[in-house]
Structure 1
Amino acid sequence: MRNDIRLGVIFMIAATFVFAMQDGLSQHLGRNYNVLMVVMVRYWFFAAFVIAIAKRQSGSIRAAARTPQPVLQAFRGLLLAGEICIMVLGFVALGLVESHAIFACYPLIISALSGPILGEVVGWRRWTAAGIGFVGVLVILQPGFGVFAPEAVFPLAAAFCFALYGLLNRYVARRDSSATSFFWTGTVGAVAMTAVGLWHWEPMTGTDWALMGCLCVSGALGHWLLIKTYEVAEASAVQPFAYLQLVFAASLGITVFGETLEPHVAIGAAIVVSAGLFTLFRARRRAKAA
């Protein structure tokens, strides 16, 4: 198996940049149109991309769709679709900076839940890192100081959904290929979003249709870059660079949308990211030892 860490890091940085731009487009469109409609159109393009990739890797759509755990795969697809909708609502209500600062805690949630869900051994160091990370989230939210925003529940809920989605990815991978999981993710999400999104259709301007096209293309491009990342390098080596999405999204929020980076948000995000990096470092050491 190829392990070109330098190339993998380049792909991961490019992917995080593309996903940050996608978040900015989602925020703009979500402010002007119904979020369910925006996510629905995004999923149409994503489903076409997923089907093409799955067919190429598995040989046929039937082969890509074959799974001994269809209920679990369908639930994964619904979970990701719901997470995207919730996160876009967070972008609209709270902005990119604070939403991503809170959402950055999802690797810590994965670490904390990997024991009860996957049966993995979670040592005291990982539990301590998770606890410190949640202290960082509390620093961002500032509960008890009269400035807690109820809208913060959106990125926090999205982080829990995405963490559960990540854990289920690892669970279904025990019996299904990545092509099969990818196929179910895109198609189930597209069907679910179409069922709810068509009821909220709104006419769009020509400019916003162009931005919607950019949103769809960026989604496919971002996932393609991620696929290439894990093709050329080990996940443990490149995963820490995924936190750059927080940096890129925050920069976009400040420069384009006029958001501000409050000191408590910067401090809290630094705590969360540091705890997450420590968790990734410990997981990498455990994998090498094994």
Structure 2
Amino acid sequence: MTQRMPAVQNTTLGIWLMVATTLVFALQDGVSRHLATEYNVLMVIMIRYWFFAAFVVAVAARQAGGIRQAAATRQPWLQIGRGVLLAGEVCVMVTAFVLLGLTESHAVFAVYPLLIAALSGPLLGERVGWRRWAAIGVGFVGVLVILQPGYGVFDPAALVPLLAATMFALYGLLTRYAARQDSAAVSFFWTGTVGAVFMTAVGIWFWEPMRAPDWGWMAALCVTSAFSHWLLIKAYEVAEASAVQPFAYLQLPFAAALGMAVFGETLRANVAIGAAIVVGAGLFTLWRARQRKGS
């Protein structure tokens, strides 16, 4: 049996693929916001997951070993937990888009890399030095600047994207833990298929008729969902994660621009300042992690 040759490393191409990924993710979020405003969030995410699962199965079928190899895991309950957690996080984040808009939701959600760094010590036993702890503290100051607790009337809806960020951080940590025994292809397969089964079990009860034009938007959501994951896979194939990960933060300005241009959102000063603090702290933690890896 012939072995698949590893992809040639090309950091510049990987960076551009990550930039394209974040742009498509932002477009996907915009379509999600539109559909979730008109229809039940659970139904919208369920249909999206049907297409995503079909994409995952198609990718697995083309790999060496096929679907049987992609589904082979010694930690099925962990993989099921990951899939359910991510599907739940998507539902929470799309709900945040409806409640707060793209701009403020992504400004708060940008804290998730800091949550991963903070929780990687107690949950995975990874070492987090004082510099990264300081950056994590600064990042949470940025979140407080965005949320403005104690200033006027605090909007509890602002906690929804923070919940989504926490769920996504836990998903990221579980993915790291799963990677100790399973390949990325195995985790990807379980993520899509488990998410589809879970969302079908939950979302089918909220089915409602969809207008013909919105089926076009639903198709766009499904296509961008699959395309964004394909771009992400390609980015990690041709470049190291540490080199391209900082560019994932571009999803914030892309989503904010879309929110202001299409949905009439405004960028409040405290949100802009807080987001800049959060992103700066997140980039520092990524830089420190890369420095420690290289030392």
Give me the TM-score of the superposition, normalised by structure 1. 0.98
Structure 2 Cα separation of the partners of residues 133 and 79 of structure 1: 24
Q: Which of the residues 184, 189, 206 maps onto 2:190?
A: 184
Compute the displacement of 1:57 (Å).
2.4
Compute the displacement of 1:146 (Å).
1.8
Quick check: 1:32 aligned with 2:22?
A: no
Quick check: 1:61 aligned with 2:67?
A: yes
The AA in structure 1 aligned to 2:191 is T
Q: Which of the residues 4, 12, 27 maps onto 2:10?
A: 4
The AA in structure 2 aligned to 1:210 is G
- Which residue number in structure 2 is paired with residue 113 of structure 1? 119
- Which residue number in structure 1 is paired with residue 226 of structure 2? 220
- 1:39-97 Cα deviation digits (max 9, x unpaired): 00000000000111122224221221111100000000000000000000000001000
Q: Give the match's secondary structure for 1:204.
A: coil
Q: Which of the residues 76, 90, 93 maps onto 2:99?
A: 93
Compute the displacement of 1:194 (Å).
0.3
Task: Confirm or deny: 8 A CA contact 1:54 1:182 kept in the other structure.
Answer: no
Structure 1 Cα separation of the partners of residues 228 and 50 of structure 2: 16
Compute the displacement of 1:222 (Å).
0.2
- Which residue number in structure 2 is paired with residue 20 of structure 1? 26
Quick check: 1:251 aligned with 2:227?
A: no
After superposing the two structures, state which structure 1 stretch, 147-156 or 111-120, moved more: 147-156
Structure 1 Cα separation of the partners of residues 150 and 185 of structure 2: 46
Q: Which of the residues 26, 50, 53 maps onto 2:56?
A: 50
Structure 2 Cα separation of the partners of residues 174 and 148 of structure 1: 42
List structure 1 segments (4+ residues) > 4 angstroms apart after TM superposition: none
Quick check: 1:161 aligned with 2:167?
A: yes
Structure 1 Cα separation of the partners of residues 208 and 178 of structure 2: 37
Structure 1 Cα separation of the partners of residues 83 and 60 of structure 2: 15
Q: Give the match's secondary structure for 1:154.
A: helix
Structure 2 Cα separation of the partners of residues 62 and 5 of structure 1: 32
The AA in structure 1 aligned to 2:172 is G
Structure 1 Cα separation of the partners of residues 30 and 268 of structure 2: 19
The AA in structure 1 aligned to 2:237 is E
Task: Confirm or deny: 8 A CA contact 1:83 1:158 kept in the other structure.
Answer: yes
Structure 2 unmatched runs, 5+: 1-5
Structure 2 Cα separation of the partners of residues 25 and 193 of structure 1: 19
Structure 1 unmatched runs, 5+: none
Q: Give the match's secondary structure for 1:160.
A: helix
Q: Give the match's secondary structure for 1:50.
A: helix
Seq. identity, %: 70
Task: Confirm or deny: 8 A CA contact 1:53 1:179 kept in the other structure.
Answer: no
Q: Which of the residues 249, 256, 261 maps onto 2:267?
A: 261
Give me the TM-score of the superposition, normalised by structure 2. 0.97
- Which residue number in structure 1 is paired with residue 3 of structure 2? none
Structure 2 Cα separation of the partners of residues 208 and 133 of structure 1: 38
- Which residue number in structure 2 is paired with residue 122 of structure 1? 128
Structure 1 Cα separation of the partners of residues 21 and 215 of structure 2: 23
- 1:168-201 Cα deviation digits (max 9, x unpaired): 1111001001111001000000000001111000
- Which residue number in structure 2 is paired with residue 78 of structure 1? 84
The AA in structure 1 aligned to 2:209 is P
Quick check: 1:148 aligned with 2:154?
A: yes
The AA in structure 1 aligned to 2:157 is E
Structure 2 Cα separation of the partners of residues 236 and 177 of structure 1: 18
Q: Give the match's secondary structure for 1:181.
A: helix
The AA in structure 2 aligned to 1:188 is V
- 1:86-129 Cα deviation digits (max 9, x unpaired): 00000000100000000000000000000111110011011111
- Which residue number in structure 2 is paired with residue 285 of structure 1? 291
- 1:210-249 Cα deviation digits (max 9, x unpaired): 0000000000000000000000001111111000000100
After superposing the two structures, state which structure 1 stretch, 57-66 or 91-100, moved more: 57-66
Structure 2 Cα separation of the partners of residues 5 and 148 of structure 1: 43
User: How many residue pairs align between the two structures?
Assistant: 289
Q: Give the match's secondary structure for 1:74.
A: helix
